[in-house]
């Protein structure tokens, strides 16, 4: 078993996860036989490049081998080998931007790094996107044609996790979740069969893949509806610390349903630097109808004093690229959690006030951390004919007053991880109590920003969870993706009282 200092260190976080080997030596050999030079072993340049390319340090676990398939057929071969081994565990990695340890990589198992399955091609009214692409590849390819798709706002983020978890896009207040604009998923099932899921073929799998992430198979291609796009207005604005309440008030006003503006996308953040002991209120905003900008964002763009003003008019492809520059420079451990509520005149203020009072205390215990508290709008609900799995009723309008927040910690000292994870859980608890007290709590937990201790799939509601479980039983009756792919939010956990009933 290959176990380096780095994996020993990571094992400290994962406890029992490394008490056994996740893959038998022979499974990697069988994968090599099936996939030849697409399988890489520790210390080889391609293996090292794959591990160090994870954006957050805590994700750089060391698998026994890394597979870099080039096509859906290669993924199918890999699934057949892994399934035959019955015990070997594996991970699936798209862009690698989920912050939960073990969700996109695995110690001593086999990691399927999808990034070479990344072809982007315009075919009729859809853009066919290889599931291992990142959003910047998509936008770079299609923007010369003045079209766009519903996708990520930061170019470095992967398509695979983003779309199977939901996906808030520049256009979400107006159009909805990005996953709702997938016309077809090409997916490798547990049998190794490559199938299509869309509105007419396997519709229940089609719905399940919009929010159910890796529970049903490995998606190899997304067919995304495209639409014409012009310039957007927006960018990043940082304010003096004294502007924080004005910023929270501006966002509170934006989320008053009477002020709903379908073209106003983005988020507001307060950022605490535990070393400098300073707060920086920041807004990252876009207006998708540039000719009418700033629209409802006027109440944010008017706030003074500003310390940085990056507001401009530019093509979407440039915004996505520029936002990536900031992210790429942050080589830290990064963890987050999320919760959702309905905006009231006071709730964002009381959440912000609480965070602002507590975060310097957290930084006394964990010197050098940076933390962000971010508020964003939820997306519109899709047509009843093509549902996703999130469980919002068809006549609800979460895009008008629905807010999800994200609390993030950035830190260099890996030993902080367990302590900061429990701080995240405490914060979520405190925020939920505040929203419950105002009768404004929503049960929804956005999967793509959920911490491992949260339960986004359950948050979709009993009936959606039941549909997801039924779909898993139909397309993966032996539970291959439940048992051999341990990472990600699972539909069936061995500790779950329903587990033995289902299997």
Ligand X SMILES: Cc1cc2nc3c(=O)[nH]c(=O)nc-3n(C[C@H](O)[C@H](O)[C@H](O)COP(=O)(O)OP(=O)(O)OC[C@H]3O[C@@H](n4cnc5c(N)ncnc54)[C@H](O)[C@@H]3O)c2cc1C
Binding site for ligand X (CB under 6 A): 92-98, 103-104, 114, 131, 152-154, 157-158, 160-162, 164-168, 213-214, 218-219, 327, 448, 487-488
**Residue the block writes with tokens 């944010």:** 300
- 298-316 burial, b at 16+ Cβ within 10 Å, e below that, comes to ebbbebeebeeeebeebbb
SS3 350: helix
CB contact set of 19 (below 8 Å; sequence gap of 6+): none
Q: List the one residue out of 254, 268, 266, 248 whose CA is nearest residue 348.
A: 248
**207 vs 434, beta carbon nearer ligand X:** 207
Query: For residues 434 and 446, which CB has a smaller minimum distance to ligand X in the complex?
Result: 446
Please state the closest distance from residue 133 (CB atom) to ligand X, in A: 9
Q: How far is the CB of 438 from ligand X (least distance, A)?
A: 26
HEC readout, 465-502: HHHHHHHHHHHCCCCHHHHCCCCCCCCCCCCCCCHHHH
Q: From the CB of residue 4, how many other CB atoms can be counted at a distance below 10 Å?
A: 11
CB of 323 to ligand X, least distance (A): 8
Which residue lies nearer to ligand X by CB, 243 or 487?
487
Q: Which is nearer to ligand X, 151 or 387 (CB)?
A: 151
CB 142: neighbour CB atoms within 10 A?
23
Task: Write down the least CB distance from residue 205 to ligand X, Å.
Answer: 12
For ligand X, the closer CB: 21 or 169 = 169
Query: DSSP class of residue 503?
Result: -
**Closest to ligand X by CB, 216 or 272:** 216
CB of 137 to ligand X, least distance (A): 12
**Residue 428 near residue 76, CB atoms below 8 Å:** no
Smallest distance, ligand X to C-beta of residue 213, A: 5
Our CB check for ligand X shows the closer of 248 and 485 to be: 485
Tell me how far CA of residue 283 lies from CA of 152, 174, 236, 296, in angstroms: 17, 20, 6, 13
Q: Which helix (H) or strand (E) holds 215?
A: none
Q: Residue 281 Cβ, how far from ligand X at the closest point, in Å? A: 19
How many angstroms separate the CA atoms of 171 and 173, rounded? 6
Residue 72: CA count within 13 A, CB half-sphere: 20
In angstroms, give the least distance from the CB of 305 to ligand X: 27
Sign of CA dihedral 110, 111, 112, 115: negative
Smallest gap from Cβ 94 to ligand X, in A, equals 3
Looking at the Cβ atoms of 286 and 434, the one nearer to ligand X is 286
Taking the least distance from each CB to ligand X, the nearer of 112 and 254 is 112
Question: In 166-210, where do the E strands start and end?
Answer: 182-188, 194-198
Within 210-296, strands assigned E span 218-225, 227-228, 231-239, 264-273, 278-287
Q: Minimum distance from CB of 138 to ligand X (Å)?
A: 12
Tell me if 446 sits within 8 A of 365, measured CB to CB. Answer: no
Tally the C-alpha atoms within 13 A of residue 213's C-alpha that lie toward its C-beta.
27
Rank residues 390 and 434 by Cβ distance to ligand X and give the closer one: 390
């Amino acid at each position: 078993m290959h176990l380096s200092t780095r994996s020993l260190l990571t094992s400290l976080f994962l406890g029992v996860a490394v008490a056994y080997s996740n893959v038998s030596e022979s499974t990697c050999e069988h994968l090599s036989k099936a996939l030849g030079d697409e399988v890489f072993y520790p210390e080889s340049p391609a293996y090292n490049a794959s591990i160090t390319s994870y954006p957050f340090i805590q994700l750089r676990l060391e698998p026994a081998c890394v597979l870099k398939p080039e096509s859906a057929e290669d993924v199918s071969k890999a699934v057949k080998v892994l399934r035959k081994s019955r015990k070997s565990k594996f991970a699936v990695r798209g862009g690698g931007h989920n912050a939960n340890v073990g969700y996109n990589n695995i110690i001593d198992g086999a990691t399927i790094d999808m990034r070479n399955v990344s072809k982007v091609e315009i075919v009729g009214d859809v853009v066919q996107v290889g599931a291992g692409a990142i959003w910047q590849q998509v936008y770079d390819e299609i923007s010369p044609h003045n079209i766009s798709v519903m996708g990520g706002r930061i170019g470095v983020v992967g398509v695979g996790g983003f779309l199977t978890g939901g996906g808030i896009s520049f256009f979400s207040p107006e159009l909805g979740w990005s996953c709702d604009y997938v016309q077809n998923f090409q997916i490798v099932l547990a049998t190794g069969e490559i199938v299509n899921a869309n509105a007419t073929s396997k519709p229940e799998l089609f719905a399940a893949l919009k929010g159910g992430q890796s529970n049903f198979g490995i998606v190899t291609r997304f067919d995304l509806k495209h639409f014409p796009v012009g310039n957007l207005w927006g960018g990043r604005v940082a304010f003096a610390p004294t502007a924080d309440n004005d910023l929270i008030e501006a966002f509170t006003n934006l989320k008053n349903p009477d002020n709903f503006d379908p073209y106003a996308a983005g988020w507001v953040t307060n950022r605490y630097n535990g070393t400098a002991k300073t707060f920086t209120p920041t807004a990252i905003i876009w207006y998708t109808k540039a000719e009418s900008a700033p629209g409802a964002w006027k109440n944010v763009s008017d706030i003074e004093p500003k310390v940085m003003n990056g507001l401009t008019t530019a093509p979407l492809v440039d915004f996505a690229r520029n936002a990536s520059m900031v992210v790429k420079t942050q080589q830290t451990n990064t963890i987050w959690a999320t919760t959702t509520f309905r905006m009231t005149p006071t709730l964002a203020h009381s959440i912000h006030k609480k965070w602002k009072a507590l975060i310097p205390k957290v930084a006394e215990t964990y010197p050098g951390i940076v933390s962000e508290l971010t508020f964003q709008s939820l997306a519109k609900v899709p047509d009843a004919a093509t549902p996703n799995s999130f469980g919002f009723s068809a006549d609800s309008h979460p895009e008008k007053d629905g807010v999800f927040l994200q609390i993030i910690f950035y830190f260099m000292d890996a030993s902080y991880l367990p302590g900061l994870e429990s701080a995240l859980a405490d914060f979520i608890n405190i925020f939920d109590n505040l929203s419950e007290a105002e009768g404004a709590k929503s049960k929804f937990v956005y999967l793509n920003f959920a911490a491992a201790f949260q339960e986004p799939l359950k948050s979709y509601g009993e009936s959606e969870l039941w549909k997801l479980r039924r779909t898993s039983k139909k397309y993966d009756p032996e539970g291959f993706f439940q048992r051999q792919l341990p990472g990600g939010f699972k539909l069936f956990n061995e500790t779950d009282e329903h587990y033995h009933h289902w299997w």
